[in-house]
Structures are given as C-alpha cells and as structure tokens.
Amino acid sequence: MRGRPKTFDRDEALERALEVFWQKGYAATAIGDLTSAMRIGRQSLYDTFGDKHELYLEALARYKEMRIRTTRDMLEAPGSPLANLRAFFAMWREEATEATSGCMMVNSSTEVGAVDDAAARIIEKALARLEELMREALERARDAGELSELASPRALARLIVTSANGIAARSRLGMTVEEVDDVIETLTAVVTGASQAAVAR
C-alpha cells in the first residue's frame, strides 16, 4: 500500500450520516450537515460515497439491516416466544417515548417514497421482512402453547407492524407514555387473546 492511508472509518462515517438523515430527512439535510457530522471533508464524502442520493440510499439500507437484525435478535431469542414478543413491545415503547426520530423507513416513505423508486424498494422489502419475522414469532408462540390458535398469523403480524409504523410517525411530534401504552396494551391483549369486545347477541 502506497499513499496516505484513509484516516476515517467508512462505517463510522456512514453511521453518522445515517443519524443525520434519520433525524432531518433527505431534503432538509445539507452536504455541510453531513460533512460536519461525519467529520470528514467534502471531497472525501464525494470520493467515498458518490453523491448525496447514493449516500442516502446506503444509509437507508444500513438502517434497514440494523432494524431487521435487532428485531430478529429480539424475536428469536432463546426462551419464551411470548416473552420475546413482550420485550419487542417494550423496546418499541422506549423508542417512541424517548426520541423523536421515529423510524427512518417511515420518514422516508412519506418524504420521498412516491418519487424515489430505489428508496421505495428498500423499504418495501424491509417491511415485508419485518412482517415475516413477526408472523414467525407469533407462530412460535402458538406452537409453544403460549397462545391458542391464531385466525391469521400473517394478518395479525401486519396489524402489529402497521401499528409500529403509526407509532413511529406519531412519535415525531413527541408522545407520552400513556399514549404509547394504550396502543401496546391493546395489541398485547389482542395477541394474548384477552377479548376487547365480544359480539352481542
């Protein structure tokens, strides 16, 4: 290897770019915001990551991987599948009340989803994967005897992921614990079968 070696870590810089895009979105993020957060020069950014849009897509893909990994690790942890589901809800609750970043994929959907096909494809695949992980977790809980029959694990998984997306959107404005808890407790009751209502007659 000849020449001056790279002094910054590509992954670290990408991670810092991710945080800026996650918080501020695509359009509102200026190159200067990125270089200062990433602590690299402007030219290094273009040399290393292409342009702003490429960097955004790479950050979004990284976010997607992170989100899928943590979800899978949580839901597929050893032990009680139902306890894992509860732990997942708890994590989600913490995130919604302690931060206003929301979910980068939800933010991206609403901001650029309709015009950025590459971003849309990343998000669509990620949401499908998250639904799959959730469905499998529900089925494991059922197979372990912690839940009785589920009418449609897939449909229930979709409701859960959709609700998570709704919470994420809302948390951009700031959410109280009470607001999140209402949603989570109701969903938990649905999953565990405590009926919220019963058809009369």
Binding mask 124-153 for a copy of itself (x = CB under 8 A): x--x--------------x--xxxxxxxx-
The CB density around residue 131, as the number of other CB atoms within 10 Å, is 19
CA distances from 83 to 59, 75, 140, 160 (A): 31, 9, 11, 16
- CB within 8 Å of 193: residues ≥ 6 apart: 147, 148
Q: Which is nearer to DNA, 43 or 196 (CB)?
A: 43
Residues 45-84 that bind DNA (CB under 7 A): 46-48, 51-53
Q: Which is nearer to DNA, 51 or 124 (CB)?
A: 51
* Minimum separation from the CB atom of position 32 to a copy of itself (A): 17
The CB density around residue 173, as the number of other CB atoms within 10 Å, is 8
Binding mask 7-26 for DNA (x = CB under 7 A): xx------------------
Q: Which of 107, 130, 134, 137 binds a copy of itself (CB under 8 A)?
A: 107
Alpha carbon 21 to its chain centroid, in Å, reads 14
The span from the CA of 31 to the CA of 1, in Å, is 30
Contact between 183 and a copy of itself by CB under 8 A: the answer reads: yes
- CB within 8 Å of 19: residues ≥ 6 apart: 37
Could you list the residues that contact DNA (CB under 7 A)?
1-8, 29-32, 39-44, 46-48, 51-53
